[in-house]
Structure 1
């Protein structure tokens, strides 16, 4: 097949649609040819530039306006030159070679950006003979409405991506686990060690002790901190959906499943950390599949016949006694041992009453920011809080503080406000009654004495467990040996 013949005069395409008599006005081919000629001439006049090339990407036609813009002395001077000689960034050769159009493109030219379209040219037999290009705009002003809409869509996409990324990022650090008590200090020490080891961690403790917060904190000081943190509550998801939630599902795996399939939490956490809360409530049927994932680091999406490799660090948590559940057959022993590589038991609030002032001040600060009013607590009110057993731990403490503020519509909590919302001491099962109920007229014990008494109890228990070994007791309490001797001296004094 030959190349298009070069035009005799620059500025005109080869061939010309003849003039048809009225009898041919209704001939489809003639009308089409005339329409094409008319459209081409109209487009050429409206555009900032136009040119055509043959199969060798040599310029066979260019309008005068475009030739001058490209620095040519005339349109005739450009004829026969490779298109790249006059347009260094041109894609016309690619269109002439493949026959595939580039409908809309932005082409850099010097300090400008040209909006161009490039289309293949075919002869009557449909054979590719070259390409034609038009510069629709020599600046982006004409595309402002389109560009504005595109910018809006990009902004929304970035916002959605940021929101998604934030939802998969750990929200708390070790500084969020408040406490200066020996139990709190030791918990944070163990958390730092757990973060460095990059192994499976099992967090145990009563509800409300901060297991999820500590899982976030461990991730945030680990080598995976810049990667996703994904959490799932095994007790909050119906058993029928939990497998797909954890491991994902192939397209159409079950009635109502997404036709495109879906990634599970393990896949979303790939490279990072997966927090499995309330692991003790996981159905037995899924425990075997979880064990395989922990051992092989492979998941099999629901309804799929393939295994997917993942690199996930698992932190599990439970408020149940897993060993007891293993004994009665409700939890797999092999899964328990696999999860219990590094275990941490979070202390209940009643064992770290020394941390009450810090915790309450933070709670008041959070509530104050939310309602826009300054809040405070009277020092003597802590003695009331220290006498409660706190079965719900820090979560219950937040509830008590908020309830007292709402019921009494006050900005300063005192002992009476808190006493009114705390349950009366009782000796029923699950509660610890005070040894000697204080008379209503008794003087409220200062907070410093409450804290000192708690410290003495903790030190005495540590010495008892270590059989009087002061170095071991100090290590267990998370304090130096010198600090232990100082506190013992103060207690004797």
Structure 2
């Protein structure tokens, strides 16, 4: 295969007088005809038509005379020796050509590449080998088209560039690979089309379309020159990606709430987003493109300039700018550095926070209101949960609780009196939970459970070093700890006389003086006192101060004993039993007759005794059903050791009282003697009367139990 050696030419950039001698020297040194090669409209090499190539031409009856016959005189274009340079010559001719030398070795003319190829077409059979040699020798892709626009020849370089084979290309219409529009244009106009980028899934190439003309300037065919650009497709894809990225960035900038400015290292505005802060810029930002925005600070448009701060500190800066109109703008400047670590750009994001500041204040206010509502709701829930823990249904307890709800709204001193175990502490807690002090402390102190010598220090506290053995830091008393809350003093009747005086001072002056100190401490404490003694009698006996009694007895509440509110017995019994069942995973229940027995028992220990009896029944019971016989085993001692008279707690019709006593006697007799016969003998009435009345009592109790279960 014949190879063509390419030799580089020193490029001549411009047409000046100094280049004329260089051009002459270049042409004189070339001893043979040659063809120039171009790249991006510049001559970069030439192929010599040496003797070996000429011999090939002669063998195929393509003599040197052909070149000379088709050569055009250089002098016909211009005077080469006077004022023309090599690049200028190429620009004048405007297409690839070969310079022909005469017998004297000097350039005498040039011949176009198409003229040579046209002659080869005429001598098709004889010049096949030569054409293959030429096509193979050219490093670019070459495709030759005939008049029918079919590809009749090509080189291997071209096939590689379009990623195909000769079998799929030769004798096929060229438009299946290349642009039909460009091919038709060259055939119709005879003009050369250069630098057309064609990208498909199979290839990415740069294509030149050159016509092959005969002597009559008729297009005989087309030479398609293909330059493989491996990076063209990648570059095109990257360009498309950049375009898409640019669209995305513009869309993002348009959707961002903040105003975005891009400033260069000199402080000059380059571009900005669509979102502009209203009433901030006094001019159209388009007019500020290319101008230094630092000057705007000097003009007093805003202060301070975040751009200036970033330029000075070379780090991210956040400032709140204030305009002449009083608007507040949050501006954040982010520096962008190049590869050398030099400041390249400043991105400024600004947001009008005037409205935001106002909304923030409103939000804080709403949060306070919400917290207040939440607190009130929690208080309501807490009160509701506490009320559910209060188990009662008797009219007397209903009346007591109505009084408690009224008392809870005030801070008056309350005196609770009643028998031991009636639930005085529960009532005190109810006053705390239902009142305005529910969120404050609730402290309880049993005045009878603490030794007299310690009670004073517990109540009033002591200063450091007040006495031997005292805490070196001193101690706060119950009054100080319960400040703003409630102090529950149980068994107030057990308080020593000398402490009663100090307690009276606290109630009168609302201040305490710790032991070992002379400085009074102001306190705001509500006192709830409780006792099971008759304080009026103690006052008469001189064991309780009269003035303190009247100070405590502001709101007196008498808690009735359990025997005076028998309606609560069954309800409390079921409540305690349910709690024990849940605690020990049991399923005990009271039979109706067991409830009857419990209701007729006087309960000297009141609710506390009832709770203890229920726990004793659960612990010792052998069966899940707890009946009257089993209950009476634990209550019988109360009947034997204490003769109880029938208790009537209110004025009622005589017959109703008689029926009530009769019912109690029949139930007690049946519990004790078990049979109606023995019970009748003990009561002194007939057996049939006992049987009839007892069945009636049981029937009524069963009905009450069913109603209670339904509730």
Q: Are 2:416 and 1:203 aligned? A: yes
Distance 1:248 1:368, change over 3 A: same
Q: Distance in 1 between matches of 2:563 and 2:622?
A: 28
**Offset at residue 320 of structure 1 (A):** 0.7
Q: Distance in 1 between matches of 2:505 and 2:601?
A: 44
TM-score w.r.t. length of structure 1: 0.55
Distance 1:213 1:88, change over 3 A: farther
Match of 2:531 in 1: 318
Q: Secondary structure at the match of 1:344?
A: strand
Alignment match of 1:344 (pick from 546, 551, 557)? 557
Distance 1:393 1:87, change over 3 A: farther
Alignment match of 2:602 (pick from 389, 410, 426)? 389
Match of 1:231 in 2: 444
Q: Distance in 2 between matches of 1:430 and 1:311?
A: 48
Contact kept in structure 1, 2:591 and 2:625, CA below 8 Å? yes
Q: Secondary structure at the match of 2:475?
A: coil
Match of 2:286 in 1: none
Instruction: Kindly indicate which of the two structures has a greater share of residues assigned to strand.
Output: 2
Q: Which runs of 5+ in 2 are unaligned?
A: 1-308, 318-332, 334-381, 647-663, 677-693, 705-711
Superposition pairs for residues 187-202 of structure 1, below 5 Å? 187-202=400-415
Q: Distance in 2 between matches of 1:356 and 1:451?
A: 16
Match of 1:69 in 2: none
**Offset at residue 269 of structure 1 (A):** 0.6
**Offset at residue 322 of structure 1 (A):** 0.6
Q: Are 2:504 and 1:296 aligned? A: no
- Residues 171-191 of structure 1: CA distance to partner in whole angstroms, max 9, x if unpaired? 983433211111111111111
**Offset at residue 447 of structure 1 (A):** 7.5
Q: Distance in 1 between matches of 2:417 and 2:531?
A: 5
Q: Secondary structure at the match of 2:502?
A: helix
Alignment match of 2:698 (pick from 443, 446, 465)? 446
Q: Distance in 2 between matches of 1:356 and 1:260?
A: 50
Contact kept in structure 1, 2:416 and 2:424, CA below 8 Å? yes
Distance 1:87 1:287, change over 3 A: farther
Q: Are 2:479 and 1:266 aligned? A: yes
Distance 1:88 1:190, change over 3 A: farther
Q: Distance in 2 between matches of 1:431 and 1:203?
A: 26
Q: Which runs of 5+ in 1 are unaligned?
A: 1-80, 90-109, 111-168, 453-493
Q: Secondary structure at the match of 2:592?
A: coil
**Offset at residue 381 of structure 1 (A):** 1.0
Alignment match of 2:593 (pick from 380, 396, 403)? 380
Superposition pairs for residues 318-467 of structure 1, below 5 Å? 318-426=531-639, 431-432=644-645, 437-439=668-670, 440-442=674-676, 443=694, 445-446=697-698, 448=700
Greater gyration radius: 2
Match of 2:430 in 1: 217
- Residues 139-161 of structure 1: CA distance to partner in whole angstroms, max 9, x if unpaired? xxxxxxxxxxxxxxxxxxxxxxx
Contact kept in structure 2, 1:174 and 1:214, CA below 8 Å? no
**Offset at residue 365 of structure 1 (A):** 1.7
**Offset at residue 357 of structure 1 (A):** 1.9
Q: Distance in 1 between matches of 2:569 and 2:698?
A: 14
Match of 1:181 in 2: 394
Match of 1:78 in 2: none
Q: Distance in 1 between matches of 2:426 and 2:488?
A: 11
Q: Secondary structure at the match of 1:424?
A: helix
Q: Secondary structure at the match of 1:380?
A: helix
User: RMSD in angstroms over aligned alpha carbons?
Assistant: 2.9
Q: Secondary structure at the match of 1:173?
A: helix
**Relative contact order, CA 8 A, sep 6+: which one is greater?**
1
Contact kept in structure 1, 2:444 and 2:489, CA below 8 Å? yes
Contact kept in structure 1, 2:570 and 2:599, CA below 8 Å? no
Q: Distance in 2 between matches of 1:253 and 1:430?
A: 54
Q: Distance in 1 between matches of 2:620 and 2:642?
A: 29
Q: Secondary structure at the match of 2:464?
A: coil
Deviates more, 1:417-426 or 1:233-242: 417-426
- Residues 195-225 of structure 1: CA distance to partner in whole angstroms, max 9, x if unpaired? 1222000000001111001100111010111
Q: Distance in 2 between matches of 1:324 and 1:430?
A: 26
Contact kept in structure 2, 1:178 and 1:358, CA below 8 Å? yes
Q: Are 2:508 and 1:256 aligned? A: no
Q: Secondary structure at the match of 2:557?
A: strand
TM-score w.r.t. length of structure 2: 0.39
**Offset at residue 375 of structure 1 (A):** 2.7
Distance 1:430 1:274, change over 3 A: farther
- Residues 441-473 of structure 1: CA distance to partner in whole angstroms, max 9, x if unpaired? 244632745999xxxxxxxxxxxxxxxxxxxxx
**Offset at residue 355 of structure 1 (A):** 1.2
Contact kept in structure 2, 1:349 and 1:393, CA below 8 Å? yes
Q: Distance in 2 between matches of 1:256 and 1:430?
A: 52
Q: Distance in 2 between matches of 1:400 and 1:203?
A: 25
Q: Distance in 2 between matches of 1:426 and 1:380?
A: 17
Q: Distance in 1 between matches of 2:418 and 2:514?
A: 32
Contact kept in structure 1, 2:416 and 2:558, CA below 8 Å? yes
Distance 1:401 1:341, change over 3 A: same
- Residues 247-295 of structure 1: CA distance to partner in whole angstroms, max 9, x if unpaired? 1111122222111111111111100111011101111110000000011
**Offset at residue 438 of structure 1 (A):** 1.5
Number of equivalent positions: 292
Contact kept in structure 2, 1:401 and 1:418, CA below 8 Å? no
Contact kept in structure 2, 1:383 and 1:447, CA below 8 Å? no
Distance 1:86 1:204, change over 3 A: farther
Distance 1:416 1:283, change over 3 A: same
Q: Distance in 1 between matches of 2:456 and 2:388?
A: 34
Contact kept in structure 2, 1:174 and 1:188, CA below 8 Å? no
Q: Distance in 2 between matches of 1:315 and 1:177?
A: 19
